[in-house]
Structure 1
Amino acid sequence: MASIAVIGAGGTIGRGIVSEALSRGHRVTAVVRDPSGYTLRAEGLTVAAGDALDPAAVARVAQGQDVLVSAVGGGDGPGHAALIEPAARALVEGVRTLGAAAPRLIAVGGAGSLEAAPGVRVWDSPGLPEGLLQIMHAHGDAQDYYNGVEDVRWTVLSPAATIEPGDRTGSYRTGTEQLVTDDEGRSRISVEDYAVALVDEIETPRHIGRRFTVAH
């Protein structure tokens, strides 16, 4: 079983990842700004304070782990979009300081920079709210940064165009740079199945040094 630290464990996706990893018997450290406000308690779970924007704090929670997961995103609104790319840099810098003992880094990405059609990205769709566009482009900037990192074992998992709490089916389809859609053109994934895909990637690495995406 793996030892996994999840930064951003207090968010919807972060909690989903923590729960899925625990259900498979992994040892999980939930990293949040204020541990006193984190209510989940379970065997194999440790709660720790940490800050994704502080490389030293990242290194502290990453030390001794097999995998560091970043669930830092724009779920708290467009005001947090400006934190996404700086967090990616701080995460890499923090992991990098651990040298040969550095864990693998898996980051929750965004769908906006995926191709919806040849030469057309999701964020090119008409009528998208400005706040959502800010989050999409922030994730795109973070992805551009990760693409240039060669000395850290990283993976970015971009969700479908729509991700929300739902059922855990354990079933999903994967893609790389193109949005995954169903026969009716919809791109959806539940938080629960997104977490399944991410923990599957932890257990069986297939996308080190690149991005992939999942949808039902």
Structure 2
Amino acid sequence: MTRITVVGGTGYAGSAIVAEAARRGHEVVSVSRSVPAEEARVEGVRYETGSLVDADVRARAVADAEVVVSSLSPRGELDGRIVEVDRELAALAAQHGARFVVVGGYSSLRLEEGGPRQAETGQIPPEYAGEALQMNEVLGELLASRDSLDAESLDFLFVSPAMQFGAYAPGEALGRYRVGGEVAFTDDDGVSAVSGADFALAIVDEIETPAHRREHISVAY
């Protein structure tokens, strides 16, 4: 059993990860600005509320965790502050010896080996560009940390989901997925998609049996 804290644990990705981790018997804490309705809560999960821009809330979230999953999005109060918040969560995770897993975005992937990350091309539609750029900056800081003097202190993983991922395209739980690197990939029909349930499956599999450390990976069918 692993002690897992999911910040943003009531969002689309976060709630799926919380449910999957609890189903497998892990000790799960969800930290977010609100708690789900009673009937939507997962049995055995401890739900805590608070703003992640608050240093005390961040410290409490990480204090007893073996793995911290950040499924936060740069929206609302986190718009313009997500980089700072994830940076501080990463520092706390390193301090406490916890693994730090970030749910990123599809736009941080490259379309071809050696090509630019999509968020860096200037071709993201304006309505999505802000979120894409901010999450890409989170990734950039994590990758840069590998070259720091205490690089080994932070065990991180940045995971980009498929293009079709979110409440608008929930998909079905197929019980399978594929893991790739930082170059986007598709299925045999040329579709880049993954359901919330199967993305969560990949995250919890990685928590239980770490196969990737201090790198950027992607999950799709």
TM-score, reference length from structure 1: 0.87
Are 2:108 and 2:160, in contact at CA under 8 Å, matched by a contact in 1?
Answer: no
Are 2:19 and 2:42, in contact at CA under 8 Å, matched by a contact in 1?
Answer: no
Task: Please state whether the residue corresponding to 1:143 is helix, strand or coil.
Answer: helix
Are 1:63 and 1:103, in contact at CA under 8 Å, matched by a contact in 2?
Answer: no
**Matched pairs, number:** 209
Aligned to 2:107: 112
Aligned to 1:138: 134
Letter paired with 1:2: T
Q: Is residue 24 of structure 1 aligned with residue 24 of structure 2?
A: yes
C-alpha separation between the residues in 1 aligned to 2:122 and 2:175?
30
C-alpha separation between the residues in 2 aligned to 1:51 and 1:97?
21
Aligned to 1:73: 73
More strand by share: 1
Which whole-Å deviations, capped at 9, do the CAs of 1:70-113 have from their partners, x for residues lacking one? Answer: 11024x57x85423212221211222343xxx311111011112
Report the alpha carbon displacement of residue 125 of structure 1 after superposing the two structures with TM. Answer: 8.4
C-alpha separation between the residues in 2 aligned to 1:7 and 1:84?
12
C-alpha separation between the residues in 1 aligned to 2:210 and 2:165?
23
Q: Is residue 14 of structure 1 aligned with residue 14 of structure 2?
A: yes
Are 1:4 and 1:28, in contact at CA under 8 Å, matched by a contact in 2?
Answer: yes
C-alpha separation between the residues in 2 aligned to 1:173 and 1:203?
17
TM-score, reference length from structure 2: 0.85
Cα gap change, 1:120/1:93 in structure 2, threshold over 3 Å: closer, same or farther?
closer
Q: Is residue 176 of structure 1 aligned with residue 171 of structure 2?
A: no
Q: How does 1:83-98 map to 2 (within 5 A)?
A: 83-98=81-96
More divergent stretch after superposition (129-138 vs 50-59): 50-59
Q: Is residue 157 of structure 1 aligned with residue 162 of structure 2?
A: no
Which whole-Å deviations, capped at 9, do the CAs of 1:12-37 have from their partners, x for residues lacking one? Answer: 111111111111111111111234x5
Question: Which blocks of at least 5 consecutive residues in structure 2 are unaligned?
Answer: 146-150
Task: Please state whether the residue corresponding to 1:167 is helix, strand or coil.
Answer: coil
RMSD between aligned alpha carbons? 2.1
Cα gap change, 1:30/1:132 in structure 2, threshold over 3 Å: closer, same or farther?
same
Are 2:164 and 2:192, in contact at CA under 8 Å, matched by a contact in 1?
Answer: yes
Q: 1:191 aligns with which of 196, 205, 209?
A: 196
Report the alpha carbon displacement of residue 180 of structure 1 after superposing the two structures with TM. Answer: 1.7
Task: Please state whether the residue corresponding to 2:165 is helix, strand or coil.
Answer: strand
Identity of aligned residues (%): 33
Cα gap change, 1:131/1:81 in structure 2, threshold over 3 Å: closer, same or farther?
farther
Which whole-Å deviations, capped at 9, do the CAs of 1:125-170 have from their partners, x for residues lacking one? Answer: 85x4202122111111110001122221111111011203221112
Are 2:53 and 2:78, in contact at CA under 8 Å, matched by a contact in 1?
Answer: no
Aligned to 2:148: none
